[in-house]
Every structure is written in C-alpha cells, then in structure tokens.
Structure 1
Amino acid sequence: MDYNMKNTSFEAIVIGSGISGGWAAKELCEKGIKTLMLERGKDIKHREDYHSDFTQPWETIGKGKLNEDILNRDYPVQQKSHVINEYSHDRFIKDPDNPYIQTSPFAWIRGHHTGGKSIMWGRQSYRLSELNLSENQRDGHGSPWPVRYSDLDPWYSYVEEFAGISGNNDGIDVLPDGNFLKPMEMNCLEKHVSGSITENFPDRRMIIGRAAHLTETKPVHEALGRSNCMYRNQCVRGCSFGGYFSTQSATLPAARNTGNLTLMNNKVVLRILHDEASGRATGVEVVDQLTMEKTQYFARVVFVCASTLGSTQILLNSASSAFPQGLGNSSGVLGHYLMDHNIGAIVVGKYSGFEDKYYKGRRPNGIYVPRFQNIGDDKRDFLRGYGFQGGASRTDWAKQAQEKGFGKTLKEKVSTPGDWSMVLVGFGEMLPDFNNKVTLDTTQKDKWGMPLLNVDAKWGENEHKMTDDMIVSGKEMLEAAELTQVFGFKTGSEPGTGIHEMGTARMGDDPTQSVLNKFNQMHDVKNVFVTDGSAMASTACQNPSLTYMAMTARAVDYAVKEMQAGRI
C-alpha cells in the first residue's frame, strides 16, 4: 500500500518514473526517506497491465502490424521508433495530444506512463570509460566532466548487481568490464565474423551485447518475483516474467517494499517552487491531467528525472525573479548542448555457408563492436568515435510470402531456412554544441498550460564525417569475413531517432559553464538534483542508461548524507 496518499508534504519528491526516477525512488525509500513519485501519465501495473504480453499474431487485426492510417494520424513522430507496433503502440504518446515545435527536425520519442521508457528501452547496458570522461577536456569540445571513472566504478557495480546485466568481461580498455551475469551466446555466423575481425583487425573486437536481461537469477532478483529471460524478444509489450530490467519489475517494487513510497499518476509537473529567501526549492506545482486541478506538493529535496527534454522543459518553466532564465540557470547553459547518438549508417552483407546450422529462440540482444577510432595511433578526420550494434540471422518462412505454391512443395519451401545475413548499425558520438538547444515558446502552450518546447538541433560536420567512416569500416569488416553483396547506406535520420537525448542541464565543476556539480546537484539550488540524460556532459558512443542508473544511485547517496547533516 502506498504511503499517505492525501499528504502534500514529503521528505523527497521524484519527478518521473522511468529508469532514473525509478532508481531515485528506490534509493531514497531504502534509506528511510518518505518519497513522492510523480508520473504525468497513466499507471501501468507489472503483469496485470501487460495486455499484449501473450497475444499471438492471429489474435490481432493487423497480425502485429499497426494500421498505416493510425500510425500517420496518431504517431507521426513516435513511429520513428522501430518497436512501435500493434502490440505496443499504447506505450507511446499520441503526438497530436503532446505538441512541440521543431525548428529543426527532432524525433522526441516518449512514453507517458509508470515506468516511462524503461518498458520500451533497448536494454543495452555499457559503462563509460576514462577515455569518454576525459575527451571534453582534451579536445576542447564541451564542459570537462567533473567525475572520473574511479568515481563511477563502484556505482556501476552496484546497479549492475541489482538490475541484472548479462555479458562477458572482455578486457577492453574503452569498454570497462562489469558485474555481469552469464552472457548470451553468439550464433555461428556472428562467431565467424567476430573471429575474422580479431584476426584481421588487431585494434577491433566484436562481442556479445551486454544487456539488462536475467540469464540467471540471484536472490536480489528472486525476492522481487523476477525470473529468467525467456528469449521471446517481445520486450516492448512488458515482461510478466520480469526477465528484463524495468521500473515495474525492479525498482518500483523495491521502493514499495519499504513502505516509504507514494506514487501519484496523471500529475503533470508545471514548475519547481523556489524560495528566494532561503535559496532552496520548496516543492512542485502540478496539474492533474484528467481533472485539470492544480496542487502543490512540498519536500526537502527534489529529484528531476522526467527525461532530458521533459526535465529541461520543467526547469525552464520554473523561472523566477531570482532565475529569470530558468531554475538554477545562472550559467545560461540550461537547454543548450542538446545531443543524441548518431545512428547514421547501416552496413549489411550475405554469407554462403552454415546451411546446416540455425539458432534457438529469439535472443533479445545483439552483438557489439566497441569504439576503435581515434584511440592510440588510430587517427581519423573527425573527433571521438562510434561503435556498431547488430547481428546475424537467417531468413525464415516469411521469404515465401509472395511466392506461389501449395501442398508438400510449399511446406518444404516454408520450412527450409534461407540465406544467412549480417547487419551492422553505427552508433556514433555527437559533439556538444551550444547552438543545439531547446527553448520555451513564448506564445503557445499545451492543454495543461505548459509552454511548448522548441527544439533546434542539427548534425554537424563531425557527425557527417563520422557517418561516412561508419560505412567504410563496416564494409571492410564484413568483406574480410567473406560476406558477399556487402553494401552500406546512410539512414538520413534526424537527431532524436537514437532515443538517447542528453546534455541540456550538463554537469561540470565550473558553475559558469554548467548547471550541475559532480553529484548531479544544482550549483545554484542545492536541494535540486537532476539525474537523467540532461546531466550528461558528452554522449560517448555507448548506450547511456546504465550511466543514468549509476549516477542516480550515487546522487541519492550524497543527497541523503547532506540531508542528515542538515545542509539541505
């Protein structure tokens, strides 16, 4: 049972219930802090509300494919996520109901419900390295990170243990090892390509992806009712087994078990309340999205975890005479330096061989080629680098969908697997740029009274050069492994399609160049912490969610100690 639903005063408020918000609530509650979690969307209960978890294609209207008219009417932006379909579309917001302004094209992918995008995320979980945390300072692009790898290392291990991350300890400097469950297995073609890369490119490796899936369970997982991943690869529907990490399967039940959590749904946070006399935040103002009733809730500390753009919108709208450009924005950088991962190129090829081999199950994970550019003696005509994700597979019965036939001959064709193929998708770093920004529109508001967010971000010359290089490198690796019909192409995707937006309330030691300090604490408002992607000072090229988890747990540890000492 949630704690004291009618109370308006708490020790802590957490805005958002996604990956960062879930971790903030868990850590605060487990440290004895009475915590209010505010979620702007509906509640989705674990298992109970996963309505399509066991639905079969023949039980749906479109056999899993969402009607094009519905996609174009309700999800013109959200359909740029590759996992939206007939089973999962209600996990995504309807774009007409949630407008924003695109001065430059930007895909803002959102899920307004308990758990946020932790239900729909890709679950790839990688640590940042010392290289990633030092490059801003070394090449002069972006604010220097205020933390080193040694600061994050124990927190990475801590969150990996609880979340359950499968993978190998591969001994790669640019991709630190971790506290992993047993790894998933590559299929035969992936093993072949991996061996070829090691043989032909001594500076490169191809490994199995590190993923937030339980390949085995430990007591910490079993205590929450989680069980092994079943290799169904339909994670976006929600997983009744708790096989992958989400707020619903892990952090939310852990927080609730303490008796210290209050979760309120359908509460749109408009602004954070600030007391100029004390210099502290006192709470938040919300509007109920169903009744339109406004309420204020109060707390000693506020954790802002509403996703990069959502958090920044709230902070900008929390302007006052003390902070006319937005709460805690004496530096003027709040809203600037918006970044995403550059998913700019794809390389594919076919392989003749392994006709007598197949694979078992639907592995919800792929391979990973860690960054190898601009390291040591490797010098490119661009800064930073990229990695590859992807995998190998064989065509299945669907190859016969357009073929004529019937009877025994058709059955034999349908049951015979087709050719092997391999795909590599480049994930590149985006340089911090002050001109890539979000602002509040001065005239237009949404139906809850929040000024619309205006997004203006573009790929720069560095990202374009990086995309060209992805194609060259990807092709040479597949061709070296004797794949044929190898070709690469640019995706032409705009920022936002990586769904890894970051950077608009960045960390740094210099308060004139950053919003947050090394503990994700606002320089200007000491009892406000921001621990989602907006805190990132650079993107690296690894998937960032594991870093959000580690930084959130670290920030809560610091905040509670400061509360106990009476400093906040």
Structure 2
Amino acid sequence: MANYNIDAKKETTYDAIVIGSGISGGWAAKELCEKGLKTLVLERGRIVEHVVDYPTMNLDPWDTELRGGLTPEQQQKHYKKMRSGWMGTDTEHFWADDQANPYTEEKPFLWLRAHQMGGRSILWGKQTYRWSDLDFEANAKDGHGVDWPIRYKDIEPWYTYVEKFAGISGEPLGLPQLPDSHFLPPMEMNCVEKHVKSRIEKEFSGRNMIIGRCAHLTVPHNGRGQCQNRNRCSRGCPYGAYFSSNAVTLPAAHATGNLTIRPYSIVQSVIYDDAKGKATGVRIIDSETNEDIEYSAKVIFCNASTLSSTQILLNSKSDRFENGLGNDSGELGHNLMDHTYRVGAVGTVDGFDDKYYKGRRPNGIYIPRYWNISEETKSDKFVRGFGYQGGAGRGGNAANSPEFGASFKDRMLKPGPWEFFITGFAECLPYHDNKVSLNTKVLDKWGQPTLSIDAEFKENEKAINKQIQEDAVEMLEKSGLKNIIGFDNEHSPGWGVHEMGTARMGRDPKTSVLNGFNQVHAAKNVFVTDGACMTSSSCVNPSLTYMAITARAADHAVSELKKRNI
C-alpha cells in the first residue's frame, strides 16, 4: 500500500508525524497528506495490508482447529482479554499480546489493544452517531467536569465531511438529542424488530426505535463494495464494506504520494525543545531491533488510542514538563471514562413462526436517549442518560437436548423461537480520580514504564444502570414479549471499549490539556485527536466524533503551519 520506512537512515525528517494508524490516526494521515504534508505514520505493530492480511475472512467454524477456540498457549498470551469472551482464532492475530504489553489494574479495568496497521479500526463495532449540544453543553450545565471549548456548530460541518467519505448507513429521525447524519440507505429491520418498534413507539411517548446507524456501506461507495451481510467484519472485510483505516483512509493517504509508514515503532516520547517552545520530533524504539531512533517534524498528531497517547505524553518529560508533556494543569491522565454496558433485558416473542430473515446483518437496532433531554424528562435519580442497542433473531432449538434419532435430526433443521434483547450504553461522568499513571516498577519487554489504571463506575452510573434494566423490562413487557429476563452483568470500565478522557480539551489551560483545536496548550504543534481528548463521554459510540475532530484539527494544523504560527 504505502512507502514503508523500515531503514531509518533513509529519511528522518518529515512535515508531519502521526502516532498510530487506527480510526483517528488514519484520518490524520489522510488529511495531512492530502493537504500536501510529507507525513510519517508511526505504527507500534506489524503491517496489515487490506485483504492480503485477512487470513480468516472467508473461514467457517469447521475450517479451524478447536472450532475457533484458543489453545492454552494463546489463552495465556491474551490472559486479560480472555475475560471479554470476544476473541477466538478468527481474530486472535489482530489483538495485542498481554504478556508483552502488561498493565496494572489498581481496580479492575479491561484494556483491549490492537497493535497493527489499522489498530482497532479492523475490530470496532461500527456504530456511528453524532453528538449534539446536549452532550457538548452537559458539563457546563450540571457542573461535572469542565466545559467543552466547542459546540455542535463547530463540529457539524466536519461530521458531514467525514460521513460523506466514510459512508454511514441509517435513517433520519429529526431528534435534537441525536442529530441526523449524511446517510446512505439504511439496513432493514426484520419482522420482529418492526413489531417491537411499533409497540414501543405506541406505548411510550418520546421513545423511538431505529435501525442502527453504522459505518457499513449499503450501496457501493467511493470504489468500495457494499456489505454482503456475512457478519465476519472483525476478520477484515475483503469488500471494504465497513470503514477501517486499512480499506479507506490509509489508501487515500497513499494515493497522494506523501505517506510513509514505519511499522514496529514504539513511541517512547515526544521531543520538546525548551528553547524553541515547541515539539521537534518523536523518539521511538524499534520493537524488533531495540534500536533508539529520532524523527523530526513540524507538527505531531497523537493518535495511539486514549491510554497509549496519554502514556506517551506522561513519558515525554523535559525541564519544561517534569510531569509529562502539556501537563501544566495536572489533568493529564485523569478523567478516564467508558460506557457502562451489559445491562438490559431479553425475552421471547410469540408468533412469526413462518418468518425468518436473510443473511447475517452486522447491525442491530437503536433506541436513542430519552431521559434528561428536557424538563419533562428530567430524572431525580441521575444526571445524563443512556441509549439501547439490540435486536431480534432466531437460534436453534436442539441445544442441550437429550434426544437422538431421526426426529431429533429433523428438529435440528428448524429454527427456534424468536428472541429480542436490548442492552444499554450509559454515559460515565468525568471523575478526576478515575485516572492512569506511569508505573516505573512494572516495565514492558522493551524496558519502558507501563500504565497503572485506577478507575471505577460510581453512584451515578449505578443509578443509570438500574434505570436501564427497569425500563428494558417494562418496554419488553408492553411489547408483548414472554419469558422476560432483566440482566445486569456487572462489569468494570473497559468492557465498553470506549475509553475516553485523560488529556481533555478545555477553555482554561489551568484545568485542561488541550485547546478547542486539540492543540496541547503549551506546545501548539502537538495535537491529540483520539479518545484522550474527550471532555465528557455522551452515551453514544464515540468513533464518528473522533473522525470529525481529527479532520477539523488537521485542517487547523495546516492553516497554522502556513501562517507560521506553529
């Protein structure tokens, strides 16, 4: 795909350096390259070429040993991620090694990492929702955290910009708390989902159920093929039908001739020049040779993922920044957030026995937030709110059966009853004491300090989760479902895989790390546009906002470079 800088002696000076090649890093690379900057992308892991390096993209369960299960050796390699239950041999090669990359849990925290070109953009859930001013104004209105330095009007044109390029399918709804995107045609709900939708919207005023808004193409778009409804997305899509850096932004960056990628590059620190008052480059460790190498650039984008970017900044110490680059406020590493998850309800649906669905749609339904969006919906139990994701389907009906013989075999070929479930995603408040710090006592295999993570969900999140379960059960009951089970699979932060915060944007350098254009307050040529920049967490999936914020920051960076302001 790209020009690879494997031999560091070939070139060490660029116009821009991007740390990380995931969702935000890919966008930074694309935008900077298209604006004429010779750009070096530093990737911690290996090269993953689109299609070429998707070895399991077409395999069925019976094509793999252990039917997709992991060997004891693989389980030990991924001993932390095994808690999630999401990993098998179909995706194991895309996940980082927990043994080589340790971290310390002061309180339980599940940190899922993917060290390769494309990062977690190969593995993400692809739900894409705009934030509204309900989100950007929340901190200022209820006093939690600090005020965002931007509002919806600042980011709205950039949402449209990235949506038109990435391709987002969905349907408009006209809700102020969930602005509509620039949509490709929506996927279709199945018959039971349509039935439940009609009942919920009839029984509950102000509650809507829509098909999920997602980064899946429902029609060919920008040279990429449409979704084939295989639901094998996390293995890598050979059609390029969902958004990933590998299929979308990195090829666009490469097409400019301005992109260079250096794999196996562990960023040790950002180099800051006290005399010049700005960053001059990046120091890396070659993960294969252990060689220390320095690269120079006029502008640096940190997109290694929330916690990894924060780890780099904390480790970037100088006479000017004794506690980490840009940490004048002392807020670097603090205000860690994630969404609560795994709480809701499930039930069976009578009827529709003569109906089924075609394909394996890689998308579900969405019920947008309806609490605390107006005076009429204000709760006295909690602040902020939540939304639901879920869907309906039919499984088999012979599991755990003691039967045998011809009738048993015939029954195995018939689908089981319809089930419908919803699970809530709730906003987590930005608590100062939810934090990460450098652990100099536990080093990784390259001798670098690791992270200690000390975070938990608190009373507000627990109150929201209680409401999520109560509302879920009530909605399913009034929708006519049977055998309803409410659930709260209590979990620690990290399970939502939406870690955010720790280098937040803000108006005041005394209480934040970044300004309104994602620049480090005291080092204006360093930008942080991954999840670390987030000042609050909303209750919707954040990746679309990362894309828009990154495109906006890159535009500002090039404008400031041309003016010689950075």
* Bucket of the pairwise TM-score, normalised by the shorter protein: over 0.9
Tell me which of 34, 57, 64 is aligned to 1:60. 64
Further displaced range: 78-87 or 26-35:
78-87
Secondary structure of the 1:517 match is coil
Tell me which of 451, 464, 477 is aligned to 1:453. 451
Q: How far off its partner does 1:272 sit?
A: 0.2
Distance 1:564 1:271 in 2: 26
- Alignment check: 8 A CA contact 1:400 1:413 kept: no
Match for 1:52: what amino acid? T
Match of 2:403 in 1: 404
Distance 1:9 1:480 in 2: 64
Distance of aligned partners of 1:362 and 1:4 in 2 relative to their CA distance in 1, 3 Å threshold:
closer
Secondary structure of the 2:329 match is coil
Secondary structure of the 1:421 match is strand
Secondary structure of the 1:529 match is strand
Distance 1:489 1:512 in 2: 42
> How does 1:463-478 map onto structure 2 within 5 Å?
463-478=461-476
- Alignment check: 8 A CA contact 1:80 1:497 kept: no
Match of 1:126 in 2: 129
Tell me which of 212, 216, 220 is aligned to 1:213. 216
Distance 1:443 1:73 in 2: 22
Tell me which of 356, 359, 367 is aligned to 2:365. 367
> How does 1:212-231 map onto structure 2 within 5 Å?
212-218=215-221, 221-222=222-223, 226-231=224-229
Distance 2:201 2:3 in 1: 55
Match of 1:284 in 2: 282
Match of 1:429 in 2: 427
Secondary structure of the 2:66 match is coil
- Alignment check: 8 A CA contact 2:4 2:262 kept: no
Match of 1:8 in 2: 12
Is residue 2:293 matched to residue 1:295? Answer: yes
Q: How far off its partner does 1:562 sit?
A: 0.3
Further displaced range: 108-117 or 88-97:
88-97
Question: How large is the RMSD of aligned CA atoms in angstroms?
Answer: 1.2
Secondary structure of the 2:328 match is coil
Match for 2:278: what amino acid? R
Distance 1:423 1:105 in 2: 27
- Alignment check: 8 A CA contact 2:4 2:261 kept: no
Is residue 2:566 matched to residue 1:563? Answer: no
- Alignment check: 8 A CA contact 1:39 1:263 kept: yes
Provide Cα deviations, 1:291-346, integer angstroms capped at 9, x if missing partner.
Answer: 10110000000000000000000000001110111101111100000000011513
Q: How far off its partner does 1:78 sit?
A: 1.4
Match for 1:205: what amino acid? N
> How does 1:489-508 map onto structure 2 within 5 Å?
489-508=487-506
Secondary structure of the 1:330 match is helix
Q: How far off its partner does 1:25 sit?
A: 0.1
TM-score, structure 2 length as denominator? 0.97
- Alignment check: 8 A CA contact 1:2 1:260 kept: no
Q: How far off its partner does 1:402 sit?
A: 4.0
Is residue 2:239 matched to residue 1:241? Answer: yes
Match of 2:112 in 1: 109
Q: How far off its partner does 1:423 sit?
A: 1.0
Match of 1:395 in 2: 395
- Alignment check: 8 A CA contact 2:301 2:526 kept: yes
Tell me which of 147, 152, 157 is aligned to 2:155. 152
Secondary structure of the 1:387 match is strand
Q: How far off its partner does 1:71 sit?
A: 5.5
Q: How far off its partner does 1:485 sit?
A: 1.2
Distance of aligned partners of 1:449 and 1:234 in 2 relative to their CA distance in 1, 3 Å threshold:
same
Q: How far off its partner does 1:400 sit?
A: 4.1
Secondary structure of the 1:393 match is strand
Match of 1:328 in 2: 326
TM-score, structure 1 length as denominator? 0.97
Tell me which of 543, 547, 551 is aligned to 1:553. 551
Further displaced range: 209-218 or 373-382:
373-382
Is residue 2:179 matched to residue 1:176? Answer: yes
Distance of aligned partners of 1:71 and 1:387 in 2 relative to their CA distance in 1, 3 Å threshold:
farther
Match of 1:275 in 2: 273
Q: How far off its partner does 1:410 sit?
A: 3.2
Q: How far off its partner does 1:487 sit?
A: 1.5
Match for 2:428: what amino acid? M
Match for 2:69: what amino acid? K
Provide Cα deviations, 1:172-205, integer angstroms capped at 9, x if missing partner.
Answer: 1111001010000011111111111110111111
Secondary structure of the 1:476 match is helix
Secondary structure of the 1:356 match is coil
Distance of aligned partners of 1:493 and 1:70 in 2 relative to their CA distance in 1, 3 Å threshold:
farther
Q: How far off its partner does 1:65 sit?
A: 2.8
Distance 1:483 1:344 in 2: 20
- Alignment check: 8 A CA contact 1:344 1:467 kept: no
Match of 2:383 in 1: 383
Q: How far off its partner does 1:4 sit?
A: 8.0
Provide Cα deviations, 1:132-172, integer angstroms capped at 9, x if missing partner.
Answer: 11010000001101111111111001111111110001111
- Alignment check: 8 A CA contact 2:326 2:520 kept: yes
Provide Cα deviations, 1:257-299, integer angstroms capped at 9, x if missing partner.
Answer: 0000000100000000000011100000000001101100000
Distance 1:349 1:322 in 2: 59
Match of 1:192 in 2: 195
Q: How far off its partner does 1:459 sit?
A: 0.7
Is residue 2:74 matched to residue 1:75? Answer: no
Distance of aligned partners of 1:60 and 1:3 in 2 relative to their CA distance in 1, 3 Å threshold:
closer
- Alignment check: 8 A CA contact 2:139 2:148 kept: yes
- Alignment check: 8 A CA contact 2:299 2:526 kept: yes
Distance 2:394 2:176 in 1: 33
Secondary structure of the 1:444 match is strand
Distance 2:261 2:324 in 1: 27
Distance 1:450 1:156 in 2: 37
Q: How far off its partner does 1:537 sit?
A: 0.4
Tell me which of 86, 92, 95 is aligned to 2:95. 92
Secondary structure of the 2:519 match is coil
Distance of aligned partners of 1:118 and 1:82 in 2 relative to their CA distance in 1, 3 Å threshold:
farther
- Alignment check: 8 A CA contact 2:344 2:473 kept: no
Match for 2:158: what amino acid? W
Distance 2:199 2:74 in 1: 41
Q: How far off its partner does 1:254 sit?
A: 0.3
> How many residue pairs were aligned?
560
Match of 1:36 in 2: 40
Tell me which of 312, 323, 335 is aligned to 1:337. 335
Match of 2:170 in 1: 167
Match for 1:423: what amino acid? F
Distance of aligned partners of 1:70 and 1:191 in 2 relative to their CA distance in 1, 3 Å threshold:
farther
Match for 1:420: what amino acid? W
Q: How far off its partner does 1:82 sit?
A: 4.6
- Alignment check: 8 A CA contact 1:71 1:79 kept: no
Distance 1:71 1:128 in 2: 39
Q: How far off its partner does 1:401 sit?
A: 5.9
> How does 1:253-268 map onto structure 2 within 5 Å?
253-268=251-266
Match for 1:93: what amino acid? A
Q: Unpaired runs of 5+ in structure 2?
A: none
Q: Unpaired runs of 5+ in structure 1?
A: none
Distance 1:71 1:368 in 2: 35
Secondary structure of the 2:161 match is helix
Distance 1:158 1:64 in 2: 39
Provide Cα deviations, 1:388-410, integer angstroms capped at 9, x if missing partner.
Answer: 1011111136x346443233x23
Match of 2:31 in 1: 27
Match for 2:201: what amino acid? T
Secondary structure of the 2:158 match is helix
Is residue 2:528 matched to residue 1:530? Answer: yes
Secondary structure of the 1:63 match is helix
